[in-house]
Amino acid sequence: MTTYDISQYLVPGRRAHLIGIGGVSMRPLGLVLKGMGLEVSGSDMSASLSTEELESQGIHVAIGHRAENIQGADCIIRTAAVHNDNPEIAAARSAGIPVFERAQAWGEIMKSYKNAICISGTHGKTTTTSMMTHILMEAKMDPTVMIGGYLPLLHAGHRVGHGDTIVLESCEYCDSFLNFFPTLAVVLNVEADHLDYFKDLADIQKSFHKFAEMATFGVAANGDDPHTVEAMQGIQHVSFGLGEQNRVRAENISQDWRHFDVTVDGNFYCHVDMGVMGRHNALNTLGAAAAAWMLGIDGEAVTRGVASFHGAGRRMEQKGTFNGAEVYDDYAHHPDELRATLDTARSMGNRRLVVAFQPHTYSRTKALFEDFVRELSKPDVLVLAEIYAARERNTSGISSLDLAARIPGAVYCETLPEVTEYLRQHVQPNDLVITIGAGDIFRAGEALLKD
């Protein structure tokens, strides 16, 4: 089997064809490659705002996967969700065109930067990468950015900078972040997730350990999270958190977690006034502050960057009001993320909490079923949409109906229009309504707001 060197293909004048180009990290990859001087084309299963944006930037996107789409390509880049039976992959292999993974491409890109900051963790990656982007912009470092979401500051989920720094959201699924070349790795937390790929928590910890080992400049890791502490054993790192054992700590914390001083080794570094809410975001802020301190960034830039960040798209994002109720949307799809989101919602006042939740993938719902039952029992009103399949087939026969059967008062809706209709009929003035999930549940809330 021929082994290809991706560095020979990601150069100006070459043409790269991206399969699944409308995805959250493929779209920015396509735009970054185009900014580097490559010719870029792509394909996706369906047209979307993402594919429209790509077309507007001069990148041709074919809708549907067909062998002829790859004609003229020097290399193919695919997501982990695109398998070998895809007609474009099959055609490329038949024609001897090299096929690379998305993470390999990002890894190659980051090699050319002095500072490659890779933000990892089971949750909090998008928020912390976004916050880090604000800090780097305030520090005038002109970064290149890749975020798995939308950041209002950038009007996108990516940025092509001209400085010597790149910051990337770094995902552990399928060990994809092991294709990266971090100089500075941030580990926010380590939890049992993606159990369709990893065997168990210990397997996940092993992957994070390997990732941290790759960092050539340094590692910042959550010293309050026992799973992270175990994963970092034997790796020299800067710990951050609320406990006294951490080098980077929050002190003089306000009751709502939004205001505190950041100290390093007991010395004042900066004061922060967060534009987002919750204890979990205080920890995310500490992770970003630790990375900034390690890079020698002035504390005042951290203060300004954190204050100017008011959340990434789909992270407790305020969408509007309906019938006197506030409507929010959040990307939480793991029980721990759900807990953080619901805790934040409860801190927003004593009112009825209405949640429309869409589980993400059959394997996660099955593996963490009892944890989902526990967290989803907390809202006053729970509407369950059917499971969002993403990359999977339902081989276990699991359904959101199984969750509804275990949660008193839960309402099951087979389709998103049914979710919207139920909310329309039952939302009351002063309710706090949140659509939650990593799929397309946000559409149910947006449809409600169109009324």
pLDDT, position 385 = 98
Half-sphere exposure of 261 (CA within 13 A, CB side): 9
Domain boundaries, the chain: 6-101, 113-308, 317-449
pLDDT, position 350 = 80
Q: What is the pTM of this model?
A: 0.81
C-alpha torsion angle, residues 57, 58, 61, 62 (rounded to 10): 150
The terminus-to-terminus CA distance of the chain in angstroms comes to 57
Per-chain mean pLDDT for the chain: 94
Question: pLDDT grade, residue 388 (50/70/90)?
Answer: very high
For 12, counting Cβ atoms within 10 Å of its Cβ (0-12 exposed, 13-18 middle, 19+ buried), the class is exposed
pLDDT, position 115 = 98
pLDDT, position 2 = 67
Instruction: Spot the catalytic one: 125, 263, 319, 341.
Output: 125
Instruction: Spot the catalytic one: 51, 79, 126, 144.
Output: 126
In 256-388, at which residue ranges do the beta strands (DSSP E only) sit? 259-264, 267-273, 317-322, 325-330, 353-357, 381-385
Q: Say how far apart CA 275 and CA 237 lie, in whole Å.
A: 28
* CATH code reported for the domain at 113-308: 3.40.1190.10
Does 199 qualify as catalytic in the annotation? no
**pLDDT tens per residue, range 218-256:** 999 999 999 999 999 999 999 999 999 999 999 999 998
Check if 6-101 and 317-449 are the same fold: no
Does 125 qualify as catalytic in the annotation? yes
Average pLDDT over residues 57-70: 96
**pLDDT tens per residue, range 252-299:** 999 989 999 999 999 999 999 999 989 999 999 999 999 999 999 999
pLDDT, position 150 = 84
The number of beta carbons lying within 10 Å of the beta carbon of residue 310 is: 15
Instruction: Spot the catalytic one: 39, 88, 108, 169.
Output: 169
Least confident range of 77-86, 248-257, 293-302, 329-338: 77-86
Q: Which fold, 317-449? A: Protein-Tyrosine Phosphatase; Chain A (3.90.190)
pLDDT, position 173 = 86
Residue of 317 and 356 predicted with greater confidence: 356
Q: Say how far apart CA 368 and CA 357 lie, in whole Å.
A: 15
The answer on pLDDT for 1 being more than 60 is: no
387, 400 Cβ separation under 8 angstroms: yes
**pLDDT tens per residue, range 398-436:** 999 999 999 999 999 999 999 999 999 999 999 999 999
CATH architecture of 6-101: 3-Layer(aba) Sandwich (3.40)
pLDDT, position 198 = 92
Residue of 55 and 194 predicted with greater confidence: 55
**pLDDT tens per residue, range 5-43:** 999 999 999 999 999 999 877 988 998 899 889 999 999
